[in-house]
Structure 1
């Protein structure tokens, strides 16, 4: 299994898909607990949800599951949310705080997983950011995510439908954040900007507006596009068709801002 698949386009927007992959090597899968083997913490069907929304968008998709190694955590495994429950580079628990491993990987194995899976994904993503920036003078990374709307281990209450993360405005030009927020607000759905999800390592690492690289994370509540937030996590076409138009509007708004961002660089 290749660690990453890339579809190159000519738009200034790159879609990052770090958590939609479900591949787990057999020898790793066998060591997961039965609960872990359900792969419940996948960003289910997000690749389908965004498919075709912005013609010309580049996509970079991790094909491996986040239980193998999390492509949206830094290689040094520092917490993105100090003092809060979260999961690490190779998660030891699931999103409900339950153990994932019958036999947990040691540091040597984690280092090998980093080299085999995490590094190739980020090499591909960095290469696409450089390529797109060479074409447009700027690159806009939109990191695509989803998560169950009720996870007491990670957050209280119900997660909003749309969760925009820019690390408190650090990772992108404010016009991009404002454009995404405007579209979300116009839907009448619930939303948050830099709430529980402020952007993962990918957004924080690559988002360098001063260097012409802008990054924004969108964390969607899975209730917006799944039949149920439980096995088998089935895609709900009717729900998705009400969600896809505002997602398309966000992506088009971001792409339309690229010339202004380039002129200001």
Structure 2
């Protein structure tokens, strides 16, 4: 597998001063030429599954004292917010390994570790892939990415006695809350209370509301593999997924940033600062460190 760019990077603060790790696994927008040649989609259509510019929206993390891990590879190429081997056997020209999870809901929807589609059910590939290519992407991208994320979380936990992972994403502008018609600006996902303390989730909702945003919890996005896998509140490791509504900051047709993009990024920076202050205050009674 040959790519001519850095696959991912960690943007570090001068000194990590807060027990947070920020992660942007789906905002990568560098597409390997060989991948584009395999695709039936044009250069705009294939970008439909990106979390557009989320790395920039949360880009204040290092200034606030937290590391940020971000992908440069696109999620359409390999999705690190999945189990390592969620593979659709119908995508490949030869059998997938027996240990592959071929029956997950995400595989059924075309959104496994090697995605079959981008948004709006647009199929990516013109023909079937060799399974060896999928396994290569997993070995050379997926596993190193998660190794890096684990190290950041472990370092944070060791330094502060607990840690908070904020997994940063975006969602389509047409998302509505079932039964209400409400279009949320943000969704906070904590796997229905299993990946982070209720106090942390409620604080996030309160802060976003105070900034003038409509924020809801867990519906329709409760958090993906990363949130579920790394959130261990009983061990003092909390993971929240944050979804930002794309319609409030990007033109979803042209993918151009809206005029108020910088204002939104500024509001998110305020939110991030509020979260760090809340954790500093709340952790004093040790409840957050060992839920």
- Structure 1 residue 159 displacement after superposition: 4.6
How far apart, in 1, do the equivalents of 2:57 and 2:213 lie? Answer: 17
TM-score of the two chains, using structure 1 as the length reference: 0.88
How far apart, in 1, do the equivalents of 2:117 and 2:106 lie? Answer: 17
Partner of 1:234: 256
Gaps of 5+ in 2: 87-100
Which of 3, 9, 12 in structure 2 is aligned with 1:8?
12
Contact 2:56 2:265 in 1 (8 A): no
- SS in structure 2 at match of 1:223: helix
TM-score of the two chains, using structure 2 as the length reference: 0.80
Larger Rg: 2
Task: Judge which range, 41-50 or 81-90, deviates more.
Answer: 81-90
How far apart, in 2, do the equivalents of 1:60 and 1:88 lie? Answer: 21
Task: Judge which range, 52-61 or 173-182, deviates more.
Answer: 52-61
Gaps of 5+ in 1: none
User: Is the aligned partner of 1:248 residue 2:269?
Assistant: yes
Aligned pair count reads: 260
Once the two structures are superposed, what CA deviation does each residue of 1:108-148 show, in whole Å capped at 9, x if it has no partner? 22111101111111111110011111111111100111122
How far apart, in 1, do the equivalents of 2:110 and 2:186 lie? Answer: 19
- SS in structure 1 at match of 2:136: helix
- Structure 1 residue 256 displacement after superposition: 2.5
User: Is the aligned partner of 1:74 residue 2:76?
Assistant: no
- Structure 1 residue 82 displacement after superposition: 7.0
- Structure 1 residue 3 displacement after superposition: 2.1
How far apart, in 2, do the equivalents of 1:245 and 1:22 lie? Answer: 22
Q: 1:22 to 1:180 in 2, by over 3 A?
A: same
Contact 2:163 2:238 in 1 (8 A): yes
Query: Matches of residues 160-175 of structure 1 in structure 2 within 5 Å?
Result: 160-175=184-199
